[in-house]
Copies of this chain bind each other. A is one copy, B any other.
Amino acid sequence: MSGRLFVVGLGPGSPDQVTPQASAAVAEAKFFYGYKPYLDRLELRLDQTAISSDNREEISRARAALARAAEGETVAVVSGGDPGVFAMAAAVCEAIEAGPAAWRNIDIEIVPGVTAMLAVAARIGAPLGHDFCAISLSDNLKPWDVVERRLVAAAEAGFVIALYNPISKARPWQLGKAFEQLRTVLPAETIVVFGRAAGRTDERIEVFSLGEVDTGKADMATCVIIGSPETRAIPRADRPALIYTPRSLASQ
């Protein structure tokens, strides 16, 4: 008896950014596994059960969800944003690869969502309008020197950079260090955006220059976008400036 496992992206937070496909998966599942703030977004029925776990327990959460699905149940693992971007889809794959053979027979459906960088970008213009990259700043799962090397390589190559997991209580200095490295490559006036809770009532979007960015204004729910030297601001009289990266790049 093999059950079904949805790995669902709930989008950045606003209910009107949850896809119908995600809503349908949530309606269908009986058991829900996730980090509590994401589970709290669901309005579950009495016949549905939520099992929350901490945000650094992805593998044990994935294993618990797979074990439940292997019993023949319909299960959902939920992520904010998109489950494939620094979220639960990779953890579920890791657990399947290392787990019992029967888990490979579970019907897995990954439901994509609007990931944070897209939601933040949409609120201020089009900073990701040219080539870009996404880097998790967490050094829990990779060595810090790899993070630094990637930041410098991306900046030197002209990518706009979106940073996920920029800061936490356990990782307080990494974001400052990242900006320090980037300042060795990028001009001080490079545009930096901190976006938090994009599209929600508690949204906070702030724009800095790389030379004057205040890391104290970021928290673990912030997505940081660092422009390329091409990224520009369009001032507007009664509205926030539009921030965008032109599609074109002239010969250099």
- Chain B residues with CB under 8 Å of A85's CB are 118, 128-129
Contact of A94 among B20, B150, B244 (CB under 8 A): B244
Q: Does A46 count as interface, using CB distance less than 8 angstroms?
A: no
CB of A148, distance to nearest CB on chain B (Å): 11
Whether A136 pairs with B131 at a CB distance below 8 angstroms is yes
Q: Does A18 count as interface, using CB distance less than 8 angstroms?
A: yes
Q: Please report the C-alpha to C-alpha distance between residue A143 and residue B85 in the assembled complex, in whole angstroms.
A: 29
- Chain B residues with CB under 8 Å of A125's CB are 89, 93, 110
Q: State how many residues of chain A have any CB contact under 8 Å with chain B.
A: 81
Whether A104 pairs with B17 at a CB distance below 8 angstroms is no
How many copies of this chain does the complex contain?
2
Q: Which residue of chain B has its CB nearest to the CB of A117?
A: B84
Q: Does A80 count as interface, using CB distance less than 8 angstroms?
A: no
Q: Among the listed stretches A47-55, A154-162, A176-184, which one makes contact with chain B, having 4 or more residues with CB under 8 Å of it?
A: A154-162
Q: Among the listed stretches A37-45, A207-215, A233-241, which one makes contact with chain B, having 4 or more residues with CB under 8 Å of it?
A: A233-241
Q: Please report the C-alpha to C-alpha distance between residue A169 and residue B104 in the assembled complex, in whole angstroms.
A: 40
Q: Among the listed stretches A8-16, A26-34, A68-76, A186-194, which one makes contact with chain B, having 4 or more residues with CB under 8 Å of it?
A: A8-16
Whether A143 pairs with B105 at a CB distance below 8 angstroms is no
